[in-house]
Amino acid sequence: MPISIRARAPLRISFAGGGTDVPPFPEREGGLVLNATIDRYAYGLLRPRRDRRIRIESADFGVSLDYSVDESPMFDGKLDLVKAAIRKLGDRSSPGYDLFLHSNAPPGSGLGSSSTVMVTLVGLLKEHHGLALTEYEIAQLSHTIERTDLGLLGGMQDQYAATFGGFNFIEFGADRVIVNPLRVNEDVINELEHNMLLCYTGATRRSDGIIEDQTARLEQGETETLEGLRMQKELAVEMKNALLRRQLNQFGDLLDHAWREKKRMSPKIATGFIDEAYAEARKNGALGGKVTGAGGGGYMLFYCAFQKKHRVAEALVRMGGKVTEFAFEQKGLTTWSMDDA
């Protein structure tokens, strides 16, 4: 009876520091990001085959591929992330397998879904090929495949958040990353879940255009972009301290400050709808909020006084947003095996 390998990794929300993990800023000044993983996941399944075929199916894109272990697949925009991971970690002497991948969030959601799928995939291939990889090595390998091998623009926080899980304060330098897990009080976590909500704006963003613009502005020495990034680092520290000291109203206010500073990094980060939705949420009782990824669409995160949370949700729904609650996930990448009955 064949043994299948399962894996899942959590998606993340970023509170402050996003953008400081995107080159060349961390190499020049060092990046700081405060984020946490939530109960939305990328899932994967690997089922060994008796022949030498590899079959990949993506539920998110509605795409499937089938090719031989001996082939070098073309990078043609169809599941290139998966192909690149198999090329990096594959063993052409071994039999083939079926891969199935699915995520709780749409691509371009701003919750780090593509990088989380990559971490899930690396976890599956690690187990299948019996590779001894640490959490840091899994995250770094996932990052290398995306950013170096495929040349996809973006930062580093998503791969580390998905691999480690929980609340993390992550430091990014020129040649190293340090993940500092935070021991956030359980009452604080409960209160955050009580008072926060996510709103899907209905627009799937292309983060690379925003990141290209932000990077170009940084390279040109634009003061607004540079100051916005530096303030993101300061706010990541302040928000970490507010969490650990149980100062959640201050945390909500800092979330608002972080959003205002984030918008300085590129004019493409906010859209008309995002600005209108944010203003409406604030008018109805949100202390603060921000987009959860590079910007331009995807999910927005809000912190509200609980007794006003329903008013914020109703206002966002009236505008066409899709509102959802969530819980935090303390575990990162998880793999396990199961007999296929």
Coil/strand/helix, residue 18: coil
The residue ranges of DSSP E strands in the chain, in sequence order, are 3-16, 31-48, 53-58, 63-68, 97-103, 167-172, 177-181, 196-200, 286-291, 299-304, 322-324, 334-339
CA distances from 95 to 5, 64, 138, 227 (A): 15, 19, 23, 53
The per-residue DSSP string of 75-97 comes to: -SSSSHHHHHHHHHH--TTS--E
Is position 158 annotated as part of the catalytic site?
Answer: yes
User: Rounded CA gap, 230 and 65, in Å?
Assistant: 44
Phi-psi region of 165 (alpha: psi -120 to 50; beta: other; left: phi over 0): left
Amino acid letter, residue 81: L
- How many Å apart are CA 286 and CA 306, to the nearest integer? 9
Catalytic-labelled residue, pool 158, 187, 208, 213: 158
118-137 as b/e: b if 16+ CB within 10 A:
bbbbbbbbbbbeeeebeeee
Say how many residues make up the chain. 341
Q: Report which DSSP code applies to 139.
A: H
Catalytic machinery residues: 158
